[in-house]
Amino acid sequence: MSVVTLDLARIRAVAGAVVDPEIPVLTIADLGVLRDVRVSDGAVEVDITPTYSGCPAMNVIAFEVEAALAAAGFPGARVRLVLSPAWTTDWMTQAGRDALRGYGIAPPAARAGRRALFGADDDTPCPRCGSLATEKLSEFGSTACKALWRCTACREPFDQFKCL
Amino acid sequence: MTSIAVAASPLVEALLARADDALVHAHRLSEWCGHAPMLEEDLALANVALDLLGQARSLYQYAAEVEGAGHGEDDLAYRRDAPQFRNALIFELPRGDFAETIARLFFSSAVMLPWWQAAMTSPDARIAAIAAKAEKEITYHLRHAGEWMIRLGDGTDESHARMAAAVAKLWPYTGELFAAEHETIAALLPDAAALRPAFEATVARVFAEAGLERPRAGWMQKGGRRGVHTEHLGHMLAVMQHLQRAYPGAVW
């Protein structure tokens, strides 16, 4: 039986490098979806948390994490879904925010504040031209985590990662 | 496939009540997919339905664990008959026109936002965890429905008339959303009666802007929480459960 040197930092790096299937420029580490990595009794356990209760990407992400770890020499990893503490866009890294903008998606506002029921929208710069002359078309976009906007300066529609 | 018998305890019943509310509401909302008045709204209603479906799954998973009879979330969703469902009647009514769909989403969100907020401090850690996620999602639902209430109520003669009719039709179904929990588990879940001021304040604010009148207090429909449903639920379940009943355990 070979002795596997379980390296938590390496496991975290391999699991964290898995990308969101809907937004492939974002890793689950940048997204804040990867919550914890443990080794108990020689078995690897990974905790991930959903962005939204009904996020359909979670099953794929869990599968990809297991596959990536197996390929890196850590077979049989178990992925656990945890709900608490509840995911917030505040956990998204600066690298993740920059990657989103480069991909054409406006990143969430810096801090997920408590919004009034009918409050004004935060300033959302166009990810393509940077203009603040933007308007929200719909708070619900192509996935649960995105809203639909358009820029009145460069006339391009764009997605915004919703503040949660 | 035969139906399952659920070993009901007050906590299982209470979890099923909220899970069934969310599942049945999600199904009614999903009926708009491909039929909404515009593309953005098609996406919005499907997104809201997906949030509710996710909340239902979390609640069914917990209910199944508390029940401890070896059932899973799919058994609870697909293998109970209408009298075993505990959803409030408002959710099983046919989707109606767009105004009815929005009014139902508005009323339920106006109750469930303070409900989930209160549930976040439940001494039951699992309920608190589910609540912390759901509360964020419902905030978006309430804003979306509230904006449409105002837009339709304060819109054209036609949209106002339709929204006023929807409010008049659905109001008698709102009382059931405030039913008290069983005394043995009351400490784990929000006190529904205490949510009324928040609900009334939301209704008053939105109705004032929408030019709608709050119906006067009157007879309230009830029955869903003890399994006495309208005929509509059975028809809905026949569609929703067909695949799992015909092909038990089928997976993608």
C-alpha–C-alpha distance, residues B218 and B250, integer Å: 46
**pLDDT interval class at A163 (50, 70, 90):** confident
Burial of residue A145, with CB atoms counted within 10 A of its CB: 0-12 exposed, 13-18 middle, 19 or more buried: buried
Structure tokens at B57: 């799954």
- ipTM here: 0.86
Residues of A in contact with B128 (CB under 8 A): 84
Mean pLDDT for B194-222 is 96
Mutation choice for A interface testing from B25, B62, B140, B207 by most A CBs within 10 A: B140
Question: What CATH code would you report for A8-81?
Answer: 3.30.300.130
What is the separation, in whole angstroms, between the first and last Cα of chain B? 19
CA distances from B113 to B27, B49, B199 (A): 20, 16, 9
**pLDDT tens digits, one per residue of A87-104:** 999 999 999 999 999 999
Instruction: Compute the distance between CA of residue A147 and CA of residue B164 in angstroms, rounded to an integer.
Output: 29
Which of A53, A140, A162 comes nearest B133 by C-beta? A53
- Copy the structure tokens of residue A63: 């599968």
Instruction: Lowest mean pLDDT of A103-112, B4-13, B110-119, B170-179, name the range.
Output: A103-112
Res A139 pLDDT > 50: yes
CB neighbour list of residue B28: distance below 8 Å, 6 or more residues apart: B91, B92, B93, B94, B95, B101, B104, B236
The model's pTM is 0.93
Structural domains of chain B sorted by starting position, each given as residue range(s) with its CATH number in brackets: 10-246 (1.20.1260.10)
List of residues 6+ apart from B137 with CB closer than 8 A: A52, A53, B51, B54, B55
Q: Which residues of B touch A (CB under 8 A)?
A: 40-41, 43-44, 46-48, 50-55, 57-58, 125, 128-130, 132-134, 136-137, 139-140, 142-144, 146-147, 202, 205
Rounded Cα distance between A105 and A142, Å, is: 12
The mean pLDDT value of chain B amounts to 95
Q: Provide the 10 A C-beta neighbour count for residue B187.
A: 11
- Which pLDDT score, from 0 to 100, does residue A2 have? 40
Instruction: State the amino acid at position B220 in one-letter form.
Output: M
Helix (H) or strand (E) holding A44: strand A43-48
Residues of A whose CB is below 8 A from B46: 140
pLDDT tens string B14-43? 999 999 999 999 999 999 999 998 999 999
| pLDDT of res. A112 | 62
**Assigned token pair, B26:** 């999600």
Q: According to CATH, where is 3.30.300.130 located in chain A?
A: 8-81
